[in-house]
Chains A and B, each alone.
Chain A
């Protein structure tokens, strides 16, 4: 309940405040989005499995964003930034789909 409300509040604030994203932050936004989706799906799956832990959720999300951003930043400096950001998207994307599949199995038992 609270969780859904908090998520909706965040989305609404982001949509209606129209904060301008600085240019240097542009390449890292997609990574943050993927990490956020990964965190949300992971959290849902964990709470369905009754092992959800808020601290793990928050810290893993923030750490994933920071680490992924740092890796891509490093790649940018070394000239392989776009490849590394593809790698981040692929790895987190596989996790998202895996977690979504687990949620589906849990809910529909199929």
Chain B
């Protein structure tokens, strides 16, 4: 009913009038039309468009309504004890509001503390594990040295010589000799990080092997027969141990022929392209004396030698 009437009225008034009415209503002044009997009608609020009301009606309409009721002299509750009841309402409400805020703050703090603690604990665990790993590696090296010296003191013969040779070939002893050092650094790339991927390093190392390298170590990790070069995020993992930029790759072999043949490989060409395209660091240097650390022997869990070994023909 009212809507129809309003529409009729709107047809008569000018746009300017309508805007003025709207403006007054937004400021809480009600346009109170009278109905047929002359009594002031219940004030109607023209519903504003949703977004407009979202940006203009910030105060809860309940306050205005309550104030209107009070102004109209229609107390909603008996005035006896009204003040104290109001105060009780207010205090209870505010305590609840404070509780909500306090609980939220406390739980956020708890969570943050827990996250920090977990993170610190994990970092500590990683440090401990790395420390233990390097300690165990040192123990392994020294024990291997003891074994060799004990074997030598027992009398070095042909079999021991063979064992030593096999160990060298298997990559489980430290080696020394002339060779090449290749230093790559992807962190200097001028167009984003992560230019160098694990497969690039693999290609480079394969090129070194193909060029005649006899032993290769990447970032201090010796490559064995089952070594893997992988990537986890932006980090390069060699045998599951992270190596950091700049990565130095050491290869033992005849420096000059190694250099000549290495330059011919696909890996070298790819890295030369990277240098010109992305500005990575890629240095090649011949060394007269390189020392490569011992590598870990593959841990055999399921494989074992044949019960009656066939006499080997290579002696």
Q: Are A33 and B58 in contact (CB under 8 A)?
A: no
Q: Are A13 and B102 in contact (CB under 8 A)?
A: yes
Contacts of A14 in B (CB 8 A): 98-106
Q: Are B58 and A99 in contact (CB under 8 A)?
A: yes
Contacts of A45 in B (CB 8 A): 58-59
Q: How many residues of B contact A (CB 8 A)?
A: 36
Q: Are B103 and A6 in contact (CB under 8 A)?
A: no
Does B110 lie at the interface of the complex (its beta carbon under 8 Å from any beta carbon of A)? yes
Residues A53 and B98 in contact in the complex (CB < 8 Å), given A21-B103, A58-B92, A102-B58: no
Q: Are A21 and B107 in contact (CB under 8 A)?
A: yes
Q: Are B91 and A3 in contact (CB under 8 A)?
A: yes
Residues A19 and B106 in contact in the complex (CB < 8 Å), given A33-B100, A51-B64: yes
Q: How far is the CB of A87 from chain B (nearest CB, A)?
A: 11
Q: Are A3 and B90 in contact (CB under 8 A)?
A: yes
Bound CA–CA A4/B260 (angstroms): 83
Q: Tell me whether chain B's interface is mostly helix, strand or loop, or mixed.
A: helix
Does A94 lie at the interface of the complex (its beta carbon under 8 Å from any beta carbon of B)? yes
Contacts of B60 in A (CB 8 A): 42, 46, 56, 60
Q: Are A102 and B101 in contact (CB under 8 A)?
A: no
Q: Give the A-B pair count, Cβ closer than 8 A.
A: 139
Q: Are A29 and B104 in contact (CB under 8 A)?
A: yes
Bound CA–CA A20/B109 (angstroms): 12
Bound CA–CA A12/B105 (angstroms): 10
Which of B89, B105, B106 has the most C-beta atoms of chain A within 10 angstroms of its own C-beta? B106
- Give residues of chain A (7-31) contacting chain B, Cβ–Cβ below 8 Å: 7-15, 17-21, 29-30
Contacts of A99 in B (CB 8 A): 58-59
Which of B58, B64, B70 has the most C-beta atoms of chain A within 10 angstroms of its own C-beta? B58
Bound CA–CA A62/B94 (angstroms): 11
From B90, B91, B99, contact of A13 by CB (8 A): B99
Does A52 lie at the interface of the complex (its beta carbon under 8 Å from any beta carbon of B)? yes
Contacts of A2 in B (CB 8 A): 87, 90-91
Q: Are B66 and A61 in contact (CB under 8 A)?
A: no
Contacts of A15 in B (CB 8 A): 102, 105-106
Q: Are A42 and B59 in contact (CB under 8 A)?
A: yes
Interface string of B49-88 (1 = CB under 8 A from A): 0000011101110111111001000001000000000110
Interface string of B286-297 (1 = CB under 8 A from A): 000000000000
Contacts of B102 in A (CB 8 A): 10-15
Does A98 lie at the interface of the complex (its beta carbon under 8 Å from any beta carbon of B)? yes
Bound CA–CA A59/B96 (angstroms): 12
A interface list, Cβ under 8 A from B: 2-3, 6-15, 17-21, 29-30, 32-33, 36-37, 39-40, 42, 45-46, 49, 51-62, 65, 91, 94-95, 98-99, 102
Given contacts A6-B95, A12-B102, A98-B55, 11 further A-B contacts (CB under 8 A): A2-B91, A6-B90, A6-B91, A7-B97, A11-B102, A14-B100, A39-B97, A51-B67, A55-B86, A56-B66, A58-B89
3 interchain residue pairs of minimum CB distance: A10-B98, A14-B102, A98-B58
- CB pairs A–B below 8 angstroms (17 shown): A2-B91, A6-B94, A7-B97, A17-B106, A19-B103, A21-B103, A32-B100, A39-B93, A40-B97, A42-B63, A46-B60, A49-B59, A54-B89, A55-B66, A56-B63, A57-B93, A91-B54
